[in-house]
Structure 1
Amino acid sequence: MDFANVWHSINWATVLFVVEFAVKVAAVGIVPEKRHPSTAQAWLLLILVIPIVGVPLYLMLGSPYVRGRRHAVQEQATIAFAEATDRWPLIPEGVEVEEHFAQVVQMNRSLTNLPASTGRCRGVYSEYGESFRAMTAAVERAEHTVHVEFYAQAWDDETDAFFSALVAAAERGVLVRVLADHLGSAKYGSLRTIRRRMTAAGAQFHTMLPISPLQGRFRRPDLRNHRKILTIDGREGFVGSQNLIGRHYGSRRNARVGREWVDVMMHVSGEVVDALDAIFATDWLSESGKVIDNVLERLEEYKVRPVGGEINAFQVVPSGPGYPGEPSMRMFTQLINNAMTSVRLVSPYFIPNEAFLEAMKSAVLRGVDVELLVPRKADQFAVHHAQQSYFRELLEAGIRIYRFPQPKVLHAKLMLVDDRYTYFGSSNMDIRSFMLNFEVSVLTFAGDAAELLGGVIDSYEEVSTVLTLEQWMERPLIGRYFDNVFRLTSALQ
């Protein structure tokens, strides 16, 4: 027997055992810091059971916060927002709200330093083509600036008129700035075309959160800038859930089977556009290193407008890794906690944290009517099953679940509370949107926006089916298994 080889093998086995043990002990003391208990438990489960997989993933994906220059830019911008809007009132003058709702507005302002303001709701678009036509017409009216910030962008048959309008605007001297999420847009194949044609026309183009290791630009690869913002001349804008891509998302198979995305966008004007431009300017500075003039000056000019009808009160609420206080999650949860009569939720990806889930269940116990509207089948396998893992708990709590029919993909994000207070925007109601994605949410109250968005929810429910607990308990065991498996992964943030 070769004792030297045996001893060598024993030594290596001992070293590996000691290293693995040390890593596990270290993880128990490091991972839980400043994390939700469920998130920490999920990471620890992965690290302790499969360390060879868990440790590299944690090192790559474990931190939900941005560092370095982006972090500094966000901090400076937040301070600048506070200084520019210091004299703005908590609630726009002439608007009356309950004290508990005013506290939500105050919380949002404390977390983001953006106050509530007024603005005109110039239209709500829930039909894909109608939204593009309205945005294209607005760009064609542009005289000075156009700011475009969308997660997914593709120059295709359905977006051709819009991008052509951008090119024409740039060629006639309008300052056109375009931001597109790098990974969110690159997978659709025309990002380089958009960049080339925009820059050739004189527009300025940058990718958001780019991964370019050869250029020294690398960050956590699953961070996304998921915002959807269009502003024109600082006077009017669009915000909501729709991306700059055709309704079939570049898939011939989707078109063949009738699989198309269903979204909602709002056309606004007034002071709310200043807040949207402030968010754009922050992202533009992060990606280009250039400052957009006059944005802060516009925020300083508080204007008093009578609220009612088309004039609404708005509060723009940005969120993402630059906001460790998780503004969107806190806003959603507090709105549900404050509900008196009804809560209506629409989300394509519904994976709540504990606080959000308990708020919904507690609302039912207080006698509040709570509805959740989700797609019959989400467009992502893991998300679909993770979302379904909550259905039994929700149904047993007395929450009514509507499922939007296939083959269409419900992609709108909406919340309507007591038929008065409304959220719309880019943020889903899941842990990823709360912590990892850069999102823009808009809270609106007073005026006609709540009625218009409530009508959109009504139209979704009219074509949806109600899921009962009895139906849900009859689903196959294999489906339950996948639901439970992917529920574990939902907290790995």
Structure 2
Amino acid sequence: MLSFLQESAYEIAATSIYIINFAIILNLIFREKRSIETIVAWTAVLTTLPAVGIVIFMLFGRGIAKNNMFKIKEQEDKIIKASISQSKDRLKYSSMIDQNLKDNIDMIDALTNSNNAHYTNNNSVDIYDKSIDFFDSLLEELKNAQQYINIQFYIFKDDDIGNKIIDILIEKAKSGVEVRLLYDAVGSRLLSEKTLVKLKKNGVKTGSFFPSLLKIVNFNLNYRNHRKIVVIDGNVAFVGGNNVGDEYLGKNPRFGEWRDTHLKLTGDCVVDLNIRFILDWRYTTKENLDLAKYFDECQTPNISFNKSSNNIGIQIVSSGPDITELDEIKYGYIKMIQKARKYIYIQSPYLILDRTLIDSLKIACLSGVDVRIMIPSKPDHPFVYWASCSYAGELLKFGAKVYTYGDDAFLHAKTIVIDDKICSIGTANMDIRSFELNFEVNAFIYSEEVSKKQRTIFENDITNSNEITIDSYNSRPRSIKIKESISRLLSPLL
């Protein structure tokens, strides 16, 4: 009798699991707007690992509400659209005079229409290709803050560099400066409660994006705020690949030298980065900050033609999984690839491409464009690394050149530059996760001067890299081929 009951319970449990799996698969196919590759990958996981698959899906595959989480009030929407409309009117006139604008007006329009990405050109840009230079500049600018500091990182640790920043934030808060620190709950899981209490006690406001339940269970584990934004007094801003942790200064023996790229920006583009921060902050903390106040920090942007380092065109573009119809940063990358006539140089720690991107790069190669891609020489996530190698190998067959950076180093920079004309630097990797699952932000920069600097940085990095040739790739061991094949199959989920 007991055996019969056990068999019945097992049958009921097994049947329930298969019914749940089938329901999830139907939901993926008919209700959620996901890529075919992602649906096929999840279907494979759910059918081959029925019980485990449900757990994996609930942790990593569950969707979020597909509406704009970062809502803009009607009054603010009018201000933003009016500002964009004025910029468009100026651009139409200016593009008849300025050749650089004329060459890039299609790209500017594409990002404006897909993301309300405001174009400004009274900006200056500093590129930091060494993390120590970025942190030195950040610490100095934080010390100079007089009115407010808005600071946001995916990873924020209270280690040596983290505590240096924390000490300044506390000192500034005590002196009357408004200080807000926004961090991702999963990325910053090592940020201690003791430190958070100390920050709050000393007047620093903090916010945790998609917080975990009891710091153990996170039902939005798959959707992370990967943005890194600092805005100080509305005068200066930072955006790029570095997080806050000692490993970014090369102090973790596992990674060795940490190679990253970060920007310091001044000009009207600072307002656009500040708006991105404020929208994230309002969603996370429910503090009712007024965007209109921060628009008042600058006058209506002017479009001028002075070819100086203080006259650089920039669009701040953000993307996230809350808007299903658009992958705004990916669209920007694709547009750059399509526009390239001479060269495309890409740096990314992860290279996991959907069909559109890989076909665009193949077409560029076949068109005679010099396509060069740089990825790390060592993995931080093994499956992601082997999947990246697989996509790199596919592009090698079409004439792309692929490099792995350093022997005892980790490349974390997220950059793309074309033809000494346009470059994009920010938080988005060249991978499906960044395009579809993470909340990201990039600066798209229209400047011969800045693009040449980024090209030079890339070329200098080549001297510290090893080239993967088609012969060396084809002669890789069978064990690596198996790792690549399995990882590529799972790549839409990585």
**What is the correspondence of 1:186-201 to structure 2 with a 5 Å cutoff?**
186-187=189-190, 190-201=191-202
Q: Which residue of 2 aligns with 1:149?
A: 152
- State the 1:30 CA deviation: 2.6
Moved more, 158-167 or 17-26: 17-26
Is 1:262 aligned to 2:259, yes or no? yes
Task: Tell me: CA distance 1:206–1:393, structure 2 relative to 1, closer, same or farther (3 Å).
Answer: same
Moved more, 21-30 or 136-145: 21-30
Task: Tell me: CA distance 1:80–1:60, structure 2 relative to 1, closer, same or farther (3 Å).
Answer: farther
Structure 2 distance, partners of 1:305, 1:273, is: 18
Is 1:279 aligned to 2:276, yes or no? yes
Q: Which residue of 1 aligns with 2:477?
A: 476
**What is the correspondence of 1:400-479 to structure 2 with a 5 Å cutoff?**
400-446=401-447, 448-479=449-480
Structure 2 stretches of 5 or more lacking a match?
none
Query: Which amino acid in 1 is paired with 2:380?
Result: D
Q: Which residue of 2 aligns with 1:104?
A: 107
**What is the correspondence of 1:45-444 to structure 2 with a 5 Å cutoff?**
45-66=44-65, 71-74=68-71, 76=73, 79=77, 82-90=80-88, 92=91, 93=94, 95-97=98-100, 101-187=104-190, 190-212=191-213, 219-247=219-247, 254-255=252-253, 259-293=256-290, 294-298=293-297, 301-310=300-309, 311-324=311-324, 325-444=326-445
Off by >6 Å, runs of 4+ in structure 1: none
The 3-state SS of whatever aligns with 1:390 is helix
Task: Indicate conservation of the 8 Å contact 2:126/2:264, yes or no.
Answer: yes
Q: Deviations over 1:189-236 (max 9, x none)?
A: x44344233223322111222113699x96421221111111111011
- State the 1:57 CA deviation: 2.8
Structure 2 distance, partners of 1:482, 1:240, is: 31
Task: Tell me: CA distance 1:491–1:307, structure 2 relative to 1, closer, same or farther (3 Å).
Answer: farther
Q: Deviations over 1:62-100 (max 9, x none)?
A: 3444468xx443465994674352433237546534767
Moved more, 155-164 or 87-96: 87-96
- State the 1:132 CA deviation: 0.9
Structure 2 distance, partners of 1:75, 1:53, is: 40
Structure 2 distance, partners of 1:59, 1:258, is: 31
The 3-state SS of whatever aligns with 1:184 is coil
Task: Indicate conservation of the 8 Å contact 1:281/1:295, yes or no.
Answer: no
Query: Which amino acid in 2 is paired with 1:56?
Result: V
Structure 1 distance, partners of 2:169, 2:98, is: 37
Task: Tell me: CA distance 1:485–1:152, structure 2 relative to 1, closer, same or farther (3 Å).
Answer: same
The 3-state SS of whatever aligns with 2:198 is helix
Task: Tell me: CA distance 1:131–1:262, structure 2 relative to 1, closer, same or farther (3 Å).
Answer: same
Task: Tell me: CA distance 1:179–1:373, structure 2 relative to 1, closer, same or farther (3 Å).
Answer: same
The 3-state SS of whatever aligns with 2:264 is strand
Structure 1 distance, partners of 2:125, 2:400, is: 33
Task: Tell me: CA distance 1:47–1:233, structure 2 relative to 1, closer, same or farther (3 Å).
Answer: same
Q: Which residue of 1 aligns with 2:41?
A: 42
The 3-state SS of whatever aligns with 1:409 is strand
Query: Which amino acid in 2 is paired with 1:83?
Result: K
Query: Which amino acid in 1 is paired with 2:377?
Result: R
Task: Tell me: CA distance 1:95–1:165, structure 2 relative to 1, closer, same or farther (3 Å).
Answer: farther
Q: Number of residues paired by the alignment?
A: 482
Structure 2 distance, partners of 1:10, 1:122, is: 69
Structure 2 distance, partners of 1:428, 1:463, is: 21
Task: Indicate conservation of the 8 Å contact 2:420/2:448, yes or no.
Answer: no
Task: Indicate conservation of the 8 Å contact 1:84/1:299, yes or no.
Answer: no
Task: Indicate conservation of the 8 Å contact 1:422/1:444, yes or no.
Answer: yes
- State the 1:27 CA deviation: 4.6
Query: Which amino acid in 2 is paired with 1:41?
Result: V
Task: Indicate conservation of the 8 Å contact 2:351/2:392, yes or no.
Answer: no
The 3-state SS of whatever aligns with 2:483 is helix
Task: Indicate conservation of the 8 Å contact 2:69/2:283, yes or no.
Answer: no
- State the 1:117 CA deviation: 1.1
Structure 2 distance, partners of 1:101, 1:312, is: 13
Structure 2 distance, partners of 1:164, 1:309, is: 37
Moved more, 394-403 or 124-133: 124-133
Percent identity, aligned pairs only, is: 23
Structure 2 distance, partners of 1:301, 1:186, is: 40
Task: Indicate conservation of the 8 Å contact 2:189/2:215, yes or no.
Answer: no
Structure 1 distance, partners of 2:294, 2:41, is: 42
- State the 1:17 CA deviation: 6.5
Task: Indicate conservation of the 8 Å contact 2:122/2:302, yes or no.
Answer: no
Task: Indicate conservation of the 8 Å contact 1:275/1:299, yes or no.
Answer: no
The 3-state SS of whatever aligns with 1:46 is helix
Task: Indicate conservation of the 8 Å contact 1:227/1:439, yes or no.
Answer: yes
Task: Indicate conservation of the 8 Å contact 1:85/1:299, yes or no.
Answer: no
Structure 1 stretches of 5 or more lacking a match?
none
Structure 1 distance, partners of 2:34, 2:280, is: 26
Structure 2 distance, partners of 1:448, 1:381, is: 37
- State the 1:438 CA deviation: 0.9
Q: Deviations over 1:403-422 (max 9, x none)?
A: 10121111111000112110
- State the 1:432 CA deviation: 0.7
- Scaled by the length of structure 2, the TM-score of the pair is 0.89
Task: Indicate conservation of the 8 Å contact 1:154/1:194, yes or no.
Answer: no
- Scaled by the length of structure 1, the TM-score of the pair is 0.89
Structure 1 distance, partners of 2:27, 2:163, is: 50
The 3-state SS of whatever aligns with 1:73 is coil
